[in-house]
Structure 1
Amino acid sequence: MNSATILLLFVFAYFIGLLVISYFTSRNADNQSFFIGNKKSKWWLVAFGMIGTSLSGVTFISVPGTVGKMTAGDYPFGGFEYYMMVIGFFLGYFIVAAILLPLYYRMNLTSIYTYLGRRFNVEAHKIGSLFFIISRSIGATARLYLVVNVLQIFLLQGLGIPFWVTAAVILLMVLLYTFEGGVKTIVITDTLQTSFMILSLLACIGFILSNLNMSAGEAYTVLAEKDYTHFINFDVNSKTFFLKTILGGMFITIAMTGLDQEMMQKNISVDNLKNSKKNMLTFAVTLLFVNLAFLFLGGLLYLFAMENGAQYAQLTEVINGKESITNVFGFKDSAGNISNIMGDDLFPALSLQGYFPLFISVIFIIGLISALFPSADGALTAVTSSYCVDLLGINEDKTKTEQQKKKLRMQIHLIFTVLFFALIMIFKAIDDKSIVYLIMEVAGYTYGPLLGLFAFGIFTKHQIIRKYAIVAVTLIAPVATYLLNHLVSQHTDYRIGVELIIINGFLTFIGLWLIRDRSQNRVIA
């Protein structure tokens, strides 16, 4: 039995475990179990499980890969620069806990976009939900594509299995174990998956340190000498200038966690506000340490590659008139051919091409699968929930029985599974090698209108009475943001990075302010 077959057997066994959990958690499940877990989730389970959802395959694969990008221009993060965004994330979670969670609990929401309907009108409710569905569908499938592509390139391609089959089978797995229980099941499975992901992270760090015969302190010193550990980019014009990275990370968290139905439906499944806040803040602190460990692992991967026969070179590119340098490693395959590996592909190349022993490869593949499922199961459940609750109004529909509603919800769940498959195939065609930054940029365009809408609703008392005015503003703002980004990059040295979401949210807020009704004010209690 070859190593690829052994690894596939572990993947299969892992999935069987998820199905067993799903069987026990979905018994007697109804629509409220699917949407918000009947508000009986334990806060500490939600906190731990959310780590896996937040990290996903992007952190597991792409964040370590950013360490070796010796950035000097528009290229994504290099060294430990990504940690400035993590600090921004950390600050953002406190804002979510202080402002948004109390609002959601006070209004007893199943979908957080119901707030927009009560604060403004039904069009605001639906456009908010629609932006979430678009945002989460793109973000989740980008993350999912990253992991599926790794499995395909380094494990399944040699067995003659085409990419579309790999993607379809994995989505079918996710569909099967979320079909009945929804959030009630995901709270438990995400906890299991987060555990495996962190164990895989620690095991890989431990193995590499042992192989290099170094302590963690000694390894960090070597990485610092090679300039792999620089945290702060002082270039004001760069996309990763540290102040705008921190601010961008903070607002990304507010939007992608606090204004995101997937993340919030787990939080509001906790029995009360106090415990939900405990969940959010525990989760925020834990992420500081976990992300730092992933960056440290990224540096170790480059040291390990150089010490274990991978041919090393530097790729110099000129991007928008600026020089960017990236570390590249040449790996020999079974036929003796050398293929260049960089960025997202480095960790899986070392793990699955014979550089790591089999037991570490098994641990890696379990960690990878554990990173894959939380980014897919929660997203699939959340977009189904939002479509049913916000766009179809399934909770208020008195013409259907509970069984008819459940059947409709399952049909929608299946439709979104097919949509996710189509989006994964689109990402395969794009084939971006550093997807972490692509996701952040897309989020700037799709979550920005949500940021502006909620900010206007919470921090002003103005009402908007023109029926489709809110829809018009939320569609125009991302287009204006895109045009502004293009003009700035073409005519100045400044590069807009993760602050894109702030600009988009601000333009949405200004647009809503200009169309506000000055004759009456209204506040939601």
Structure 2
Amino acid sequence: MSIILAVLIYFGLLMAVSRLTSRRAGNAAFYRGERRSPWYMVAFGMVGASISGVTFVSVPGMVMASDMTYLQTCIGFIFGYFVVAFVLLPVYYRLNLTTIYTYLKNRLGKRSYKTGAAFFLLSKMAGAAIKFYVVCILLQRFVLDDMGVPFPLTVVIMVALIWLYTRRGGIKTLVWTDTFQTLCMLAALTLIIIHVISALSMTPAEAVTAVAADSHSRIFVFDDWFSTQNFWKQFVSGIFIVVVMTGLDQDMMQKNLTCKTLREAQKDMCTYGFAFVPVNLLFLGLGVLLLLLAQKEGLALPTRGDELLPMFAATGMLGEAVVIFFSIGVVAASFSSADSALTAMTTSFCVDICERDSDETLRKRVHLAMAVVFMLFIMTFRIVNSSSMLDAIYTIVGYTYGPLLGLFAFGLLTRRPVNDRLVPYIAVAAPVICFLIDSATKAWWGYQFGYELLLLNGLLTFVGLFLSGLMHKKSGIC
């Protein structure tokens, strides 16, 4: 009951913040926060919005298979955020955009515009639903099953609560609720670390020394070019992950576009870009400490890294207080990610697909419909209940960002025209060709693409757009 009470108090505070920030809120507040958000609030809140509940659980377990090499990607993130801040944000602010895909309409054409928005909606709905499903499963398995709460009820209540506190204020509300949720997430992480250090009978200084001396504290890999953990692969991939999954993602950019000026948005972007290294260092450090604790207690490690933190934090092995911290941390991280996804999908559908950004009635109906579809996606994943199917969906979601990279790169780096009618076909063909290339290289040479598959996907889209422009000219239409 203490967990339920803590979560209810948490939701009560969220609703209070929502009520205070959504007074007299219309479409201008829902879509753009009336361009009045303090940049430092956006920056702090974006840390939580960028770390989903899956990340909260998964990152500590990464040390089991790949040590702390994930920090190489995080270092790449910093440079990626600089690219977004000083290349993409000036374009978005100069054009005074509500959704970033409007840029494609101005530069490439209407079908390119609709294609970009459609790829975003598809990938965001599937990706956000999978992440939220995994979090629901974790809470169900380790907390709610013992209380007799059925899974469908868990999903309906959690998604309904997200809809409730975002339905009026939208992005204006999220700037403030994300700040609160990031604070809760980081507080939960810190308190869990303190309890683990106590269980190890160490002082904080001794814990830092123990982590640094552990073999799992390895960060850099320069000696193996075929390894997916090679520094340059991780570093470059980190840059492009941020450029594509933040700079070309309406969900991640919508809050940044609520800042008063371009300069404030750039300060926000660079600030939370730097914050990712220390935050993820804490998660990975916790993972090493949990391995040390398992060794001390003589416990068998789980087969999957995702289960390392839940094995200790959600089963009561470290006390009921840690179970509460874990539950609040996972809920805060997952809600901070899911609420912004729901708001961004509503914004993109109304503005990009319907092209009716001033229709408040439509916006309310679409927001409710998106919440219902979100629930249905999560329920479907539960019915499928196949890890291989979920992995396949995750892979498909990853593929859908490549065409966005190619579309924006072509628009920004060239002044050439495209055959707008062919763009939807090019955007679909590029991921398919990517999949075939990845399968062939794996079968013939044993080489498996990692994050660099995103670059190949974007490159294929770019080449397709270039060739479509040449064909357009030869036909005499342009």
Aligned counterpart in structure 2 of residue 16 of structure 1, from 12, 17, 42: 12
The equivalent of 2:460 in structure 1 is 507
The equivalent of 1:134 in structure 2 is 122
Separation in 2 of the partners of 1:120 and 1:114? 10
User: Offset of 1:442 from its aligned partner?
Assistant: 4.2
Q: Evaluate the alpha carbon distance shift between residue 476 and residue 409 of structure 1 in structure 2; reply closer, same or farther with a 3 A threshold.
A: same
Matches within 5 A, 1:96-245: 96-216=84-204, 218-223=206-211, 226-233=214-221, 234-245=223-234
The equivalent of 1:272 in structure 2 is 261
**Residue 450 of structure 1 contacts residue 505 of structure 1 at CA under 8 Å; is this kept in 2?**
yes
User: Offset of 1:440 from its aligned partner?
Assistant: 7.3
Q: Evaluate the alpha carbon distance shift between residue 243 and residue 444 of structure 1 in structure 2; reply closer, same or farther with a 3 A threshold.
A: farther
* AA in 2 matched with 1:67: V
Separation in 1 of the partners of 2:145 and 2:199? 29
The equivalent of 1:447 in structure 2 is 401
The equivalent of 1:30 in structure 2 is 26
* AA in 2 matched with 1:142: I
User: Offset of 1:21 from its aligned partner?
Assistant: 1.3
Separation in 2 of the partners of 1:86 and 1:120? 33
Aligned counterpart in structure 2 of residue 61 of structure 1, from 49, 52, 57: 57
**Residue 314 of structure 2 contacts residue 322 of structure 2 at CA under 8 Å; is this kept in 1?**
no
Matches within 5 A, 1:71-470: 78-216=66-204, 218-223=206-211, 226-233=214-221, 234-308=223-297, 311-312=299-300, 328-329=301-302, 342-395=304-357, 405-428=359-382, 429-430=384-385, 432=387, 441-464=395-418, 466-470=419-423
Q: Evaluate the alpha carbon distance shift between residue 92 and residue 54 of structure 1 in structure 2; reply closer, same or farther with a 3 A threshold.
A: same
Q: Evaluate the alpha carbon distance shift between residue 23 and residue 49 of structure 1 in structure 2; reply closer, same or farther with a 3 A threshold.
A: same
Separation in 2 of the partners of 1:303 and 1:95? 39
Q: Secondary structure at the match of 2:143?
A: helix
TM-score (norm 2): 0.94
Larger % of helix: which? 2
Q: For structure 1, which segment, 232-241 or 295-304, has the greater mean C-alpha deviation from structure 2 after superposition?
A: 232-241
Structure 1 stretches lacking a partner, 5+ long: 70-77, 313-327, 330-340, 396-401, 521-525
* AA in 1 matched with 2:347: S
Q: Secondary structure at the match of 1:86?
A: helix
* AA in 2 matched with 1:490: A
Note the alpha carbon deviations across 1:393-451, whole angstroms, 9 max, x for none.
013xxxxxx5xx22211111122112212222344435549x9x989744530110000
Separation in 1 of the partners of 2:133 and 2:73? 23
Separation in 2 of the partners of 1:508 and 1:267? 27
Q: Evaluate the alpha carbon distance shift between residue 158 and residue 438 of structure 1 in structure 2; reply closer, same or farther with a 3 A threshold.
A: same
Separation in 2 of the partners of 1:43 and 1:35? 17
* AA in 2 matched with 1:409: R
Q: Secondary structure at the match of 1:240?
A: coil
Q: Secondary structure at the match of 2:308?
A: helix
User: Offset of 1:255 from its aligned partner?
Assistant: 0.6
**Residue 33 of structure 2 contacts residue 171 of structure 2 at CA under 8 Å; is this kept in 1?**
yes
The equivalent of 1:332 in structure 2 is none
Between the two proteins, what is the percent identity of the paired residues? 41
Over the aligned positions, Cα root-mean-square deviation in angstroms equals 2.1
Q: Evaluate the alpha carbon distance shift between residue 461 and residue 508 of structure 1 in structure 2; reply closer, same or farther with a 3 A threshold.
A: same
User: Offset of 1:179 from its aligned partner?
Assistant: 0.8
Separation in 2 of the partners of 1:189 and 1:175? 13
TM-score (norm 1): 0.86
Separation in 1 of the partners of 2:256 and 2:18? 20
User: Offset of 1:519 from its aligned partner?
Assistant: 5.3
User: Offset of 1:358 from its aligned partner?
Assistant: 2.0
Structure 1 runs of 4+ off > 6 angstroms?
Answer: 437-440
The equivalent of 1:523 in structure 2 is none
User: Offset of 1:230 from its aligned partner?
Assistant: 1.8
**Residue 441 of structure 1 contacts residue 500 of structure 1 at CA under 8 Å; is this kept in 2?**
no
Q: For structure 1, which segment, 454-463 or 485-494, has the greater mean C-alpha deviation from structure 2 after superposition?
A: 485-494
Separation in 1 of the partners of 2:385 and 2:231? 29
User: Offset of 1:452 from its aligned partner?
Assistant: 0.5
User: Offset of 1:495 from its aligned partner?
Assistant: 1.2
Structure 2 stretches lacking a partner, 5+ long: none
User: Offset of 1:493 from its aligned partner?
Assistant: 2.1
User: Offset of 1:108 from its aligned partner?
Assistant: 0.4
Separation in 1 of the partners of 2:230 and 2:127? 24
* AA in 2 matched with 1:462: R
* AA in 1 matched with 2:57: I
Separation in 2 of the partners of 1:189 and 1:439? 29
Separation in 1 of the partners of 2:33 and 2:194? 37
* AA in 2 matched with 1:34: F
User: Offset of 1:226 from its aligned partner?
Assistant: 4.8
Is residue 6 from structure 1 mapped to residue 27 from structure 2 by the alignment? no
The equivalent of 2:428 in structure 1 is 475
